[in-house]
Amino acid sequence: MSTASRAIGFGLGDLPRIARGAGSYLFDTEGRRYLDGSGGPAAFSIGHANAEVNAAITAQLAQVACGYRYLFTSAALEALSELILRNCGREFAHIVYCSSGSEAVESALKVALQYWDARGMGTKHRFIARERSYHGSTLGALSVSGFLERRRPFERSLLDVAFVSSANAYRPAGGSAAAQLVDYLARELEECIQRLGPEQVAAFIFEPVVGAAGGVVPAPSGYAAAVKEVCERHGVLLIADEVMCGSGRCGTWRALEHEGVRPDVMAVAKGLAGGYIPLGATILRKEIAETILAAHGSVLTGYTYSGHTAACAAGLAVQRIIEREALLDRVRTAGHTLQSALRASLERFEEVGDVRGRGFLIGIEFVRDRITKLPFPRERALSHTIARRAFQNGLIVYPCAGHVGGVMGDTIIVAPPYNASDAELSELVSTLELSIAEALASS
């Protein structure tokens, strides 16, 4: 068995071989069926093997797979860009395409540095990020990630980044009461900027809804507006990492639409092309783009496959389906219903401490005691045990661990396709309840 066939991170052991997909389901070569209850890693926004998307990709491949970005534009790229900018709002004006969320974040960091250089303020080179965050696996994106387990082997080669507390209402920083949490976090960010020196700080990066690093942690209401005000007052750019939570996953195209806040730079990926072809994008506010283009003529980041024509065709097809079928409305409405169903179904387990999220991005946190919120020991690996049981029962969920002190803590992410049916969502809830019961009984 090759190492490529082992699920090292999820603890699933030897992996089955995938055979095909159909809507919300995947099938292996042994004939076993799996309900994709987490969209893989919250990426598969409209399910698998969609005939319309596949036809769009096939039609593009029949013409040309990719026009190199320094030589050609394309109809697919132009139409997708128009759609994205329309969904983001008139404040945004430029897109850098790439092939992954890590690349999208990497480009966002480079955009921030280039912007300040274009303004003759090259001393602004430091980044501030949050503890218990994850922004990607490239060295720059990993540098701004507060994820100890994933950082550890690479620490000596990472950028010098300052970290502030996570915005977690379930586990509030500094022992602050939930009502005072936003004020505490905004003050902490301001103190960090002042300590480093505003003339040194390029940008603050955060996930509006933390994904893999925290098991779905929406920032408390008012947080995004508060940190944006701090950043604007001190001349610091605000970067929103919406790789997992954006592109409609939370029920609005931009996750920050919930807060009425627009960042300076935004990274998206996963749900953008729904997993059909790798595609990510870094989206710039108009003033940021105009400043860079006026000074340097182009945004100095990009990759061989930036704006890959077939990938843009895939993304365009996925986004048109989402618009035509009003799937963001579906995510908003069904997301509330799904959260309520999960809470009701899992209430009997004293080990379920919190069910939280937005739209079709939902996290379930497990604790030894609901009152103290004491996490399970790391050795128990509860989230991975639950994920393994669910997988054996024909359900895919996304396990996360280590969000408490970087070592302990267990959560499960539920993130079904936007067009999952009511019957499929009911199956998700019942199979997850069974799997949690089995996992708790076995450990």
pLDDT above 60 (res 63) = yes
Q: In Å, what is the CA distance from 399 to each residue of 266, 269, 320, 428? A: 26, 20, 31, 15
**Whole-angstrom distance, CA of residue 355 vs CA of residue 432:** 13
Task: Give the Å distances, CA to CA, from 433 to 26, 346, 398.
Answer: 20, 6, 15
Do 179 and 10 meet the contact criterion of CB atoms below 8 Å apart? no
pLDDT of the residue at 178: 72
Pairing of strands 92-98, 162-164: unpaired
* Cα 157 to Cα 144: distance, rounded to the nearest angstrom: 12
Q: 54-324: what CATH class?
A: alpha beta
Going 95 to 96 to 97 to 98, the CA torsion angle's sign is negative
**What pLDDT, in 10s, does the model give residues 120-137?**
999 999 999 999 999 999
What's the CATH superfamily of 3-49+326-442? Aspartate Aminotransferase, domain 1 (3.90.1150.10)
Q: What is the distance between the alpha carbons of residues 107 and 104, in angstroms, rounded to a whole number? A: 5
Question: In the chain, what's the furthest Cα-to-Cα distance?
Answer: 63
The two three-digit tokens of residue 17, written as one number: 């071989």
Over residues 188-195, mean pLDDT: 98
pLDDT in tens, 348-370: 999 999 999 999 999 999 999 99
- What lies within 8 Å, CB to CB, of 137 at 6+ separation is 102, 150
- Residue 378's identity, in one-letter code, is R
- Residue 60 pLDDT > 70: yes
Environment class of residue 348 by beta-carbon count within 10 Å: exposed (0-12), middle (13-18) or buried (19+)? Answer: exposed
Neighbouring C-beta atoms of residue 33, cutoff 10 Å: 10
| Residues 37, 397 contacting (CB under 8 angstroms) | yes
d(CA 200, CA 238): 15
Residue at 112: amino acid letter? A
Mean pLDDT of all residues in 282-287: 98
Give residue 10's pLDDT: 59
Crossing angle between the packed helical segments 327-346 and 422-442, to the nearest 10 degrees: 30
pLDDT of 111 reads 98
Q: What is the pLDDT of residue 177?
A: 78
Domain with CATH 3.90.1150.10 in the chain: 3-49+326-442
Confidence of residue 34 (pLDDT cuts 50, 70, 90): very high
DSSP for residue 11 = T
**Element housing 18 (H / E):** strand 18-22
Give the residue-averaged pLDDT of 91-119. 98
State mean pLDDT over 153-178: 92
Predicted model pTM: 0.96
Confidence band of 175 (pLDDT split at 50, 70, 90): confident
Per-residue confidence (pLDDT) for residue 405, from 0 to 100:
87
H or E segment at 439?
helix 422-442
Question: What percent of the chain shows pLDDT beyond 70?
Answer: 97
- The mean pLDDT value for 269-292 works out to 98
Q: How far is residue 301 from each of residues 115, 150, 152, 281, 298, measured CA to CA in Å?
A: 12, 25, 27, 12, 9
Q: Rounded distance, CA 158 to CA 148, Å? A: 12
pLDDT tens figures, 396-433: 999 999 999 888 999 999 999 999 999 999 999 999 99
Residue 22 vs residues 78, 327, 371, 416, 421: alpha-carbon distances, Å = 30, 18, 42, 14, 13
- Asked whether the beta carbons of 270 and 42 are under 8 A apart, the reply is yes
* pLDDT on residue 8: 47
Averaged pLDDT score across all residues of the chain: 95
The answer to whether residues 392 and 10 touch, using CB atoms and an 8 Å cutoff, is no
The rounded percent of the chain whose pLDDT value lies above 90 is 94
Q: For residue 14, what pLDDT is reported?
A: 85
Give pLDDT, residue 250: 98
3-state secondary structure of 173: helix
| Contact assessment for residue 129 and residue 144, using Cβ atoms and an 8 Å cutoff | yes
- Spatial separation of the C-alpha atoms in residues 403 and 412, rounded to whole Å: 12
Q: Where in the chain is the domain with CATH 3.40.640.10?
A: 54-324
Model confidence at 3, in pLDDT bands (50, 70, 90)?
very low
Residue 424's pLDDT is 98
Residue 6 has pLDDT above 60, yes or no: no
pLDDT of 255 higher than 90: yes
Q: Which residues pair with 281 in a beta bridge?
A: 97, 268
Asked if 255 contacts 211 with a C-beta cutoff of 8 angstroms, the reply is: no
Q: How far apart are CA 34 and CA 47, in angstroms?
A: 12
Q: Hey, what are 321's tokens?
A: 């389906």
C-alpha closest to that of 395 among 417, 423, 364, 428:
428
pLDDT confidence of residue 81: 98
Q: Within 145-250, where are the H helices?
A: 148-151, 181-196, 223-233
Lowest mean pLDDT across 17-26, 33-42, 174-183: 174-183
* Residue 298, number of CB atoms within 10 A of its CB: 11
Q: Is the pLDDT of residue 206 over 60?
A: yes
